[in-house]
């Protein structure tokens, strides 16, 4: 089965998250691996949220992919979002780029190395819920110590010649504000509005965006080089500021009881993307001090993370990318979050590299170039060979 066909069949198996049920697609992967002679184990924290780990494989190298995708409506698509149509050199459909294309290239690369006589392919894991934070996937597997401790490549979509070695930090806060109700005609002379308290905090957070955070020369150079790549890839100007500064999004705000009552309750879900050099404890402390009528009721944080650019994993991966694609190859950092943050927190060296038309990620007409799928397979197979030769 060629890699385009594998990707097409993966896209056609629905695995939107939510709801996040992955049993069907994981069974497809299990059967494919069984056909290669690779045994695997399916495990789930709760029913329906299936993950797969290969068994009896090498522990020096770990490949990781997620099989869940964000939802898609039918409207606006050239081809139905779960058709997996192969046309004009692309596989079309939700997840083709993020990241069933990467999973397909990984599966195809395993066939390549086995056909070349490799007895012990690398360890692989396919997880169920990267799109919603990994509670039932990578975080569950790490907590249960079910993963081998190894250099890890996640097949997330990346710029063609630029694997990702780092990500900004993440701080998600759920904040409840309490007010003192009164007749709306008397505010602000009488009463405390929970809605206005939330808005006051957001004015403070807005000011945090203007702050600069000091970083060492190595990180500064990587950010500068990454900015040029990401500006070209996403057609966004001034990416350097996005990577260097605190970005914020008040994603959900709900408050008030009635238009003529001073609001007694307001809930705010606030997300912050944290740059290198910014202390998350200090950040949260500042937010608390500027929310006298607010209480943090949920908090999820991850510090900015980066794999050493001179590590074996990075140099081998960049070398294989250069071998296949040519041109100038160097690693970058990004603003998004993925399962890489959970793995790095547990001490793993992690790099992200995979095929995808990034401009269509999570968008209408998501698709991936079949030729890019094939070249990613060659790169993955080359990385497997490099690790095998070094450790022989």
pLDDT digits (tens, 9 = 90+) for 257-273: 999 999 999 999 999 99
Reduce the secondary structure of 163-232 to three states and give it as a string: CEEEECEEEEEEEEEECECCEHHHCCCCCECHHHHHHHHHHHHHHHCCCCCCCCHHHHHHHHHHHHHHHH
* Mean pLDDT, rounded, for 35-59: 93
* Euclidean distance between CA atoms 15 and 84, whole angstroms: 13
Backbone phi and psi for residue 43, each to the nearest 5 degrees, phi listed first? -140, 150
Torsion of the alpha carbons at 371, 374, 379 and 382, rounded to the nearest 10: -140
Banded model confidence at residue 55, pLDDT cuts 50, 70, 90? confident
* Mean pLDDT, rounded, for 52-57: 90
Q: How far is CA 233 from CA 47, 99, 163, 165, 183, in A?
A: 38, 17, 13, 17, 52
**pLDDT at residue 19 greater than cutoff 90:** yes
* Mean pLDDT, rounded, for 281-300: 97
* Mean pLDDT, rounded, for 192-212: 97
* Mean pLDDT, rounded, for 368-374: 98
Q: Which domains does the chain have, with CATH numbers?
A: 3-167+304-391 (3.40.630.10), 169-211+246-302 (3.30.70.360)
Banded model confidence at residue 231, pLDDT cuts 50, 70, 90? very high
Question: What counts of helices (H) and strands (E) characterise the chain?
Answer: 11, 16
pLDDT number for residue 392:
42
- List CB contacts of 223: < 8 A, sequence separation 6 or more: 215, 240, 243, 244, 276, 333
**pLDDT at residue 113 greater than cutoff 70:** yes
Is residue 270 within a helix (H) or strand (E), and if so which, with residue range?
strand 265-274
């Amino acid at each position: 089965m060629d890699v385009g066909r594998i990707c097409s069949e993966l896209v056609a198996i629905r695995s939107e998250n939510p709801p996040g049920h992955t049993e069907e697609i994981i069974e497809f992967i299990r059967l494919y691996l069984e056909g290669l002679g690779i045994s695997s184990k399916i495990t789930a924290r709760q029913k329906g949220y299936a993950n797969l780990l290969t068994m009896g494989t090498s522990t020096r190298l770990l490949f990781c992919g997620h099989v869940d995708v964000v939802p898609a409506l039918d409207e606006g698509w050239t081809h139905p979002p779960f058709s997996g149509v192969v046309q004009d050199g692309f596989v079309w459909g939700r997840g083709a780029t993020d990241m069933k294309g990467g999973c397909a290239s990984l599966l195809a690369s395993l066939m390549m190395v086995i056909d070349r006589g490799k007895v012990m392919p690398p360890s692989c894991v396919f997880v169920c819920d990267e799109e919603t934070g990994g509670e039932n996937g990578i975080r569950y597997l790490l907590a249960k110590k079910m993963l081998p401790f190894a250099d890890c490549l996640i097949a997330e979509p990346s710029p063609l010649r630029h694997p990702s070695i780092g990500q900004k930090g993440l701080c998600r806060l759920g904040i409840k504000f309490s007010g003192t109700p009164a007749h709306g005609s008397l505010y602000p002379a009488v009463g405390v509005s929970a809605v206005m308290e939330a808005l006051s905090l957001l004015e403070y957070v807005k000011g945090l965006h203007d702050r600069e955070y000091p970083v060492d020369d190595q990180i500064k150079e990587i950010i500068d080089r990454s900015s040029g790549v990401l500006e070209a890839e996403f057609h966004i100007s001034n990416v350097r500021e996005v990577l260097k500064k605190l970005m914020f999004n008040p994603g959900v705000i709900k408050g008030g009881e009635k238009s003529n009552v001073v609001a007694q309750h307001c809930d705010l879900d606030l997300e912050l993307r944290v740059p290198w050099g910014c202390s998350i404890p200090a950040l949260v402390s500042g937010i608390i001090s500027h929310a006298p009528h607010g209480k943090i009721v949920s908090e999820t944080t991850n510090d900015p993370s980066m794999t050493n650019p001179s590590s074996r994993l990075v140099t081998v991966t960049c070398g294989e990318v250069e071998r296949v694609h040519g041109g100038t190859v160097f690693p970058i950092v990004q603003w998004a979050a993925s399962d890489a943050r959970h793995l790095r927190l547990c001490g793993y060296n992690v790099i992200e590299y995979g095929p995808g038309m990034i401009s269509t990620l999570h968008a209408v007409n998501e698709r991936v170039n079949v030729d890019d799928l094939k070249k990613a397979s060659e790169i993955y197979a080359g990385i497997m060979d490099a690790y095998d030769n070094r450790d022989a």
